[in-house]
Every structure is written in C-alpha cells, then in structure tokens.
Amino acid sequence: MTSRKILYGLSVLAGVVLAGALGAAPTSIGLVAVAAIATIMVAVVLPLGALIGLWGALLPVWSVSSLDPMVFDAARLAVAIMIMVKSGREHANLWTPAVRRVAVPLGASAIGLVVFGIVSGESGTVNLGVTMLLGLIVGWMVLSRLTNPWALMNGYLVGVTLSGVVLILAGFGYSTITPQTNGGFLRLTGLSPSATLVTYQLAIGAVVAWASIHKGARSGRFVVALMVCLVAMGLSGGRGGVVALGLALLVGARWGWVRAVPAAAIALVGWIAVTLAENAGITFNTLQRFTSSGDGGDLTTGRARLFQDSLDSILTHPVLGSGLSQFEAEYGPAPHVALLTFFVAGGLLCGLPVLWAFWCIARRCLTISPKQFGAAGKAAHLILAVSIASAFLEPNGPFVGIAWTTILLLAVGITSRALEPPRITAASRALGADLTGLTSGPAVLPMSEVSRKAV
C-alpha cells in the first residue's frame, strides 16, 4: 500500500469523523460537513485533471437557491486539499519566482492586517487579513501542483458560463436558483454574491473563451461561452466588469491582438443586436446604468467622494492607518480603490507591500511579451488587465478571496514559467557541435534559459 493510498484513506476517514462529530450540530454546519465529505469522496475517484477542472468550476459559484454559501467554501477547500494529496509537487509548476514576488508581499500585508486588527480590536481588519491569507495558501496548494493552466481556466470558464446562464434566465424572470441575497434594482447576480463581482467573473470568462477560440480547439463551444458571458454582462447591471473588459481590449491592442476595423465591426453588430433586443422588451441593465445620471447625479455612484475621503484618512493616519471600522464610522462605506483600502486598514506597513505587488502585476501585463506562451499567455495578460481594473474600482480588488487570488496568481505564473527545452536530436546536436567552433559561447541556448532571461 503506497503512501498516497494511505493519505486517501486518512482523508476519507477524517471526513467521516468530522461528519459524525457535527451530526448533532446546527443544520448549516452539518450541511457544510456533508458537502466537504461528499466532495472528498468524489475527488478520490476523479483523475487529477478532472479534479482541477472541477475546482476551477467551483471558484465563481457562491450559492445556489437557499444553500448556505459555506457549502461551496467547504467544497472548494476540500477539492484543494485533495489536489495536494493526489499529486506531487511538479518541477515545472506555475508557482514561479514571479508569482512569489506577488504572493509574498500580499502575505506580509495580510499578516500585518491580522496583527493590527487584533491589537486595535478591528474585527473587519482581522477578517480581511485572514481571507487574504487563506486565498494565498489555497493558491499555493493548487498552483504548485499545476502544470497545465488550461485545466484550471477551462474549469473556471464552465463555472462562469453556468453563472451567466442563470443570470440570463433571471433576466427573463426565472430566478429560482439565484443566490440568497437580493441584488437589488437593476442588479442580477447569477451564482455570485453580487452583480459587481459577477461582471468581473464574466469578463475573465470572456477573455478565457476568446483565447481558447484563438487556440483553435473545438472553438464552437467557446464561441457559445463567449456569447453567454457578454450577454450576461449586459443584463447584470454591474459596470465594473465592462470597464475591466474595456481595459483588456486596450491591452490586446497594445500587443497587436485587437485591430481597429474588426473591433469596430463587432461593436456595430453588438449595438444593432442590443437595439433590436431592447425593442423586443429585453432590458440591458448595465447599459441603462451607464446611460443614467447615477445616484444623485453622480455617475461614479460615490466613488469619487470615497477616493478623496480615503486620501484624507491616509494623510491623517499614515503609519498604522485608521482601521476599516473607524473609516466607515467617519465616512460611510469602505474605500472603493483597493490600493487605498490597505493603507486605510494598516497604514504604510500594509499598504506598501500591496502597492509593490500591484506594480509587479502591471509591469508584467504591459512590458513582458506573452507571445512565447501562446494562447495561454494571451489569456493571462487579459486576466491581469481585468485584475488591474478591479484594483481601481473595488474595495479589495483581486487581492482578497480564494477565487480572485488564485486566478490572479495563475495569470502571473503562466507568463513567467520557463518553457520546456526543445528536444535535442542527433542532427541538432551535430549542428551545435559545428557551430561551437564558430562562436565564443554555446551554440544552442536552452529555451528555458531564454524564457528566464525574458521574464
């Protein structure tokens, strides 16, 4: 009996013991235990590739109907643990030095938030730090075992597409399986907790589908997924994802993937389709929110005021920050720029590491050519663009939460992993020997070394 099989057995046994211990607990806790055990049992029999795909599909799912969101948290964590159990640490994995340059500063900021929150009695700050740490830990658990990024990205696309289908059905009045929370007027959530978050997920789904189409494998289903994501974004009422997708298009233009004439033609066709649909009685909530005057005539819906309030708070409490609770008591909602949120919550000690991580992400997106990484590199750069937009538009940006953090670090890992060296044939070895006498250095530089120098 191998050690891996022993670990399988111990995992299942631990789940059974947990279920028995929580059998008499409140219903929600018992349901979470059952979800974790069921997930472990399924994970034991699934091959590793399918298991990673399942985990990716669970990332954008928050809740279904009246199910407690903790059920899906338990399932995600259980699958991540089983991925670790079922696989060894791969040599050419996606937890690269570039990923560590992003993850380590975020981890330092998270630890600082937990410490500051405990000392100051700020439970919100503690929760923020713990959630950041959990996302980084789970991201490491999966990416250090992952060699094929498409396994995770395609799984994520499946989950996002399902959420988009649910959102579209809700737009037509079928809302029986949407999450427990009410998105509010002009807000449709799909399977996410908010219309805001679902649009970023749909934007990521759209760029993954687009990259998959360019990859050329079974493009028909990816065209359907792309259309579902775009239509759902128009119906959701969340504007952030649309802005993020616009930034992704600019990044695509930066690297020569988006050309003016085809983009204009697609935009024209889209405008005609939306016009015809609205004439048929379909309401595109996102478009209406963009064309409305906003709350009290403020198109930014208070973000401009919060930006100024955040700067005032940082200048007043630069070193240790004011804390999120105190900020909300003085100004109302939390800061809606992630790069400022961490300065408010923990001052320079927590804000500067996040700022450094953001700089690493932005620099990679705009200066490191993804050409050598193929379609996966295109998807990664566009995911980074969506993440950058969220950092400017949302309180926590892409730095908090298992789903956001994993996808962010995955994108960094894709465009920083050394490529596999080319096969050395007899002919190429002979050619290398011939060239060695004509050059002062090696005749053939391994591709892994080329990519290391490039990134």
**pLDDT tens digit sequence for 184-201:** 556 888 888 888 889 999
Residue with the larger pLDDT of the pair 278 and 348:
348
132 Cβ contact list (under 8 Å, min separation 6): 106, 107, 109, 110, 113, 399, 400, 405
In terms of pLDDT, which residue wins out, 263 or 119? 119
Based on the fold, state whether residues 73 and 98 are members of the same structural domain.
no
Range of the domain at 308: 91-414
Instruction: Among 58, 88, 118, give the residue marking a domain's end.
Output: 88
State the average pLDDT for the chain: 77
- Note whether 74 and 96 are same-domain residues: no
Q: How many C-beta neighbours within 10 Å does residue 217 have? A: 11
Phi, psi angle pair for 385, to nearest 5°: -65, -45
Q: Which of 114, 142, 115, 124 is nearest to 55 (CA)?
A: 142
Q: Is the pLDDT of residue 27 over 50?
A: no
Task: Say if residue 203's pLDDT is above 90.
Answer: yes
Nearest to 402 by CA among 32, 73, 37, 95: 73
Q: Which of 76-80, 134-138, 140-144, 153-157 has the highest mean pLDDT?
A: 153-157
Same domain, 402 and 287: yes
346 & 365 share domain: yes
What is the per-residue pLDDT across 371-391, written as a single tens digit (0 to 9) for each? 888 889 999 999 999 999 999
Rounded mean pLDDT of 249-274? 77
Number of domains in the chain: 3
pLDDT of residue 370: 84
pLDDT recorded at residue 38: 66
> Distance (Å, rounded) from C-alpha 172 to C-alpha 34?
34
Each residue's pLDDT tens digit, 226-247: 989 998 888 888 888 889 998 9
End-to-end CA distance of the chain: 43
> What pLDDT does residue 93 have?
80
* % of residues, the chain, pLDDT over 90: 23
| pLDDT for 320 | 82
The answer to whether residues 284 and 186 belong to one domain is yes
Residue 247 inside a domain? The answer is yes
Instruction: Find the angle CA(62)-CA(67)-CA(71) to the nearest 5 degrees.
Output: 65
The yes-or-no verdict on residue 55 having pLDDT over 70 is yes
pLDDT for 386 equals 95
Instruction: Give pLDDT, residue 76.
Output: 82
Shared domain for 172 and 134, answered yes or no, is: yes
258 vs 214, 243, 315, CA distance in Å? 12, 16, 41
- What average pLDDT does this structure show over 27-40? 61
pTM for the whole structure: 0.81
The residue that leads in pLDDT, 125 or 272, is 125
pLDDT at 422: 39
For residues 147 and 426, which has the higher predicted lDDT (pLDDT)?
147
Same domain, 124 and 179: yes
Evaluated on CA atoms 38, 39, 40, 45, the torsion sign reads positive
Last residue of a domain, one of 88, 105, 137: 88
Instruction: Tell me the average pLDDT across 58-65.
Output: 83
Tell me, yes or no, whether 98 and 203 share the same domain: yes
Domain match, 105 and 61 both: no
Q: Is the pLDDT of residue 181 over 90?
A: no
Distance CA 249, CA 244 (A): 9
Question: 30-39, 301-310, 445-454: which has the minimum mean pLDDT?
Answer: 445-454
**423-441 pLDDT, tens per residue?**
344 433 443 343 333 333 4
CA–CA separation, 286 and 274 (whole Å):
12
241 or 42, higher pLDDT = 241
Note whether residue 419 is domain-resident: no
Q: What are the pLDDT digits (tens) for 115-140?
A: 988 988 888 888 899 989 989 998 88
